[in-house]
Amino acid sequence: MEGGKGQVCCCPTYGQLIECHTQREWNDNFNRGKESKKLVVAFFTSTCSNDCISITPVVAQYAGEYPRVMFLKVDVDELKNVADTYQVSKVPTFIFFKEGATVEIYVGRDTTALKQLIKSNGDVCGSAATVSA
Protein backbone atom coordinates (compact mmCIF):
# COMPACT_ATOMS: atom_id res chain seq x y z
CA MET A 1 0.00 0.00 0.00
CA GLU A 2 1.45 3.36 -0.98
CA GLY A 3 1.70 6.23 1.50
CA GLY A 4 2.28 9.91 0.79
CA LYS A 5 5.41 11.04 -1.10
CA GLY A 6 6.32 7.56 -2.31
CA GLN A 7 6.54 6.01 1.15
CA VAL A 8 5.32 2.47 1.60
CA CYS A 9 3.08 1.90 4.61
CA CYS A 10 4.25 -1.00 6.75
CA CYS A 11 0.76 -2.27 7.48
CA PRO A 12 -2.70 -0.91 6.71
CA THR A 13 -3.88 -1.62 10.26
CA TYR A 14 -1.32 0.56 11.99
CA GLY A 15 -2.48 3.98 13.19
CA GLN A 16 -5.77 2.69 14.59
CA LEU A 17 -7.04 0.73 17.57
CA ILE A 18 -7.80 -2.74 16.22
CA GLU A 19 -10.58 -4.60 18.01
CA CYS A 20 -10.14 -8.37 18.21
CA HIS A 21 -13.48 -10.14 18.69
CA THR A 22 -12.45 -13.70 17.81
CA GLN A 23 -9.46 -15.93 18.47
CA ARG A 24 -8.71 -15.84 14.75
CA GLU A 25 -8.70 -12.01 14.68
CA TRP A 26 -6.34 -11.99 17.66
CA ASN A 27 -4.03 -14.59 16.10
CA ASP A 28 -3.98 -12.90 12.68
CA ASN A 29 -3.29 -9.42 14.05
CA PHE A 30 -0.81 -10.59 16.68
CA ASN A 31 1.13 -12.59 14.09
CA ARG A 32 1.12 -9.65 11.68
CA GLY A 33 2.59 -7.48 14.42
CA LYS A 34 5.12 -10.15 15.36
CA GLU A 35 6.31 -10.49 11.77
CA SER A 36 6.61 -6.70 11.38
CA LYS A 37 9.11 -6.59 14.27
CA LYS A 38 7.34 -3.44 15.47
CA LEU A 39 5.94 -2.81 18.92
CA VAL A 40 2.51 -4.36 19.56
CA VAL A 41 0.44 -3.00 22.46
CA ALA A 42 -2.40 -5.28 23.56
CA PHE A 43 -5.06 -3.36 25.50
CA PHE A 44 -7.04 -5.77 27.69
CA THR A 45 -10.34 -4.17 28.63
CA SER A 46 -13.87 -4.85 29.85
CA THR A 47 -17.14 -3.14 29.02
CA CYS A 48 -17.99 -3.39 32.74
CA SER A 49 -15.02 -1.24 33.81
CA ASN A 50 -15.40 2.54 34.01
CA ASP A 51 -11.60 2.88 33.94
CA CYS A 52 -11.48 0.98 30.65
CA ILE A 53 -14.35 2.97 29.18
CA SER A 54 -12.67 6.26 30.09
CA ILE A 55 -9.22 5.34 28.77
CA THR A 56 -10.34 3.79 25.46
CA PRO A 57 -10.56 7.12 23.54
CA VAL A 58 -7.05 7.99 24.74
CA VAL A 59 -5.69 4.63 23.56
CA ALA A 60 -7.35 5.23 20.18
CA GLN A 61 -5.70 8.66 20.08
CA TYR A 62 -2.29 7.13 20.85
CA ALA A 63 -2.83 4.64 18.04
CA GLY A 64 -3.18 7.60 15.68
CA GLU A 65 -0.16 9.39 17.19
CA TYR A 66 2.08 6.32 16.92
CA PRO A 67 1.32 4.75 13.53
CA ARG A 68 4.42 2.52 13.72
CA VAL A 69 2.94 0.76 16.77
CA MET A 70 0.14 -1.80 16.46
CA PHE A 71 -2.61 -1.39 19.07
CA LEU A 72 -4.89 -4.38 19.69
CA LYS A 73 -8.01 -4.16 21.88
CA VAL A 74 -9.16 -7.34 23.62
CA ASP A 75 -12.30 -7.57 25.76
CA VAL A 76 -11.45 -10.01 28.54
CA ASP A 77 -15.04 -11.25 28.74
CA GLU A 78 -15.23 -11.87 25.00
CA LEU A 79 -11.78 -13.47 24.59
CA LYS A 80 -11.28 -15.00 28.01
CA ASN A 81 -8.82 -17.58 26.66
CA VAL A 82 -6.49 -14.83 25.37
CA ALA A 83 -6.70 -12.98 28.70
CA ASP A 84 -6.00 -16.24 30.54
CA THR A 85 -3.01 -16.99 28.30
CA TYR A 86 -1.39 -13.73 29.42
CA GLN A 87 -2.64 -14.03 33.02
CA VAL A 88 -4.64 -10.80 32.84
CA SER A 89 -6.44 -10.46 36.18
CA LYS A 90 -7.12 -6.69 36.28
CA VAL A 91 -8.23 -4.18 33.68
CA PRO A 92 -7.11 -2.10 32.03
CA THR A 93 -3.94 -4.07 31.34
CA PHE A 94 -1.52 -3.22 28.55
CA ILE A 95 0.96 -5.84 27.38
CA PHE A 96 3.78 -4.67 25.13
CA PHE A 97 5.19 -7.20 22.67
CA LYS A 98 8.23 -7.07 20.42
CA GLU A 99 8.63 -9.92 17.91
CA GLY A 100 6.06 -11.91 19.91
CA ALA A 101 7.88 -11.61 23.24
CA THR A 102 6.48 -9.68 26.19
CA VAL A 103 8.69 -6.66 26.93
CA GLU A 104 6.47 -4.73 29.36
CA ILE A 105 3.21 -5.05 31.27
CA TYR A 106 1.33 -2.02 32.56
CA VAL A 107 -1.78 -2.26 34.72
CA GLY A 108 -3.66 0.98 35.26
CA ARG A 109 -5.20 4.02 33.65
CA ASP A 110 -2.51 6.69 34.01
CA THR A 111 -2.36 8.00 30.45
CA THR A 112 0.93 9.85 31.01
CA ALA A 113 2.63 6.67 32.21
CA LEU A 114 1.11 4.71 29.34
CA LYS A 115 2.36 7.20 26.77
CA GLN A 116 5.86 7.10 28.27
CA LEU A 117 5.90 3.30 28.06
CA ILE A 118 4.83 3.42 24.42
CA LYS A 119 7.66 5.85 23.65
CA SER A 120 10.30 3.98 25.64
CA ASN A 121 9.43 0.56 24.22
CA GLY A 122 9.17 1.58 20.59
CA ASP A 123 12.69 0.35 19.86
CA VAL A 124 13.26 -1.88 22.88
CA CYS A 125 13.36 -5.66 22.98
CA GLY A 126 14.20 -7.10 26.37
CA SER A 127 12.93 -8.86 29.44
CA ALA A 128 9.41 -8.30 30.70
CA ALA A 129 8.68 -5.88 33.52
CA THR A 130 5.43 -5.18 35.33
CA VAL A 131 4.27 -1.70 36.34
CA SER A 132 1.09 -0.88 38.25
CA ALA A 133 -0.54 2.48 38.91
- pLDDT tops 50 at residue 2: no
pLDDT of residue 82: 98
| Element at 23 (helix H, strand E) | helix 23-36
Of 89, 118, 129, residue with least CA distance to 17: 118
Report the alpha-carbon angle 63-67-70, nearest 5: 65
pLDDT in tens, 57-106: 999 999 999 999 999 999 999 999 999 999 999 999 999 999 999 999 99
- Indicate the pTM of the whole model: 0.83
pLDDT in tens, 106-125: 999 999 999 999 999 985 33
pLDDT of residue 128: 43
Report CA 83 to chain centroid distance, whole Å. Answer: 13
pLDDT of residue 13: 60
Q: Which domain holds residue 122?
A: 11-132
The Cα-based distances of 3 to 7, 34, 63, 97, 99 in angstroms read 5, 22, 17, 25, 24
pLDDT in tens, 4-40: 333 333 444 678 999 999 999 999 999 999 999 999 9
Q: What CATH number has the domain bearing residue 36?
A: 3.40.30.10
How many domains does the structure of the chain reveal?
1
| 118 CB burial (10 A radius; 0-12, 13-18, 19+) | buried
Check: CB of residue 83 under 8 Å from CB of residue 44. yes
Residue 5 in any domain: the answer is no
Residue 110 in any domain: the answer is yes
Reported confidence tier of residue 3, pLDDT bands at 50, 70, 90: very low
pLDDT of residue 122: 81
Q: How far is the C-alpha of 117 from the C-alpha of 132, rounded, in Å?
A: 12
Q: How far is the C-alpha of 106 from the C-alpha of 96, rounded, in Å?
A: 8
β-strand pairing of 70-75 with 17-20: parallel
Residue 1 in any domain: the answer is no
What mean pLDDT, rounded, does the chain reach? Answer: 86
Residue 4 in any domain: the answer is no
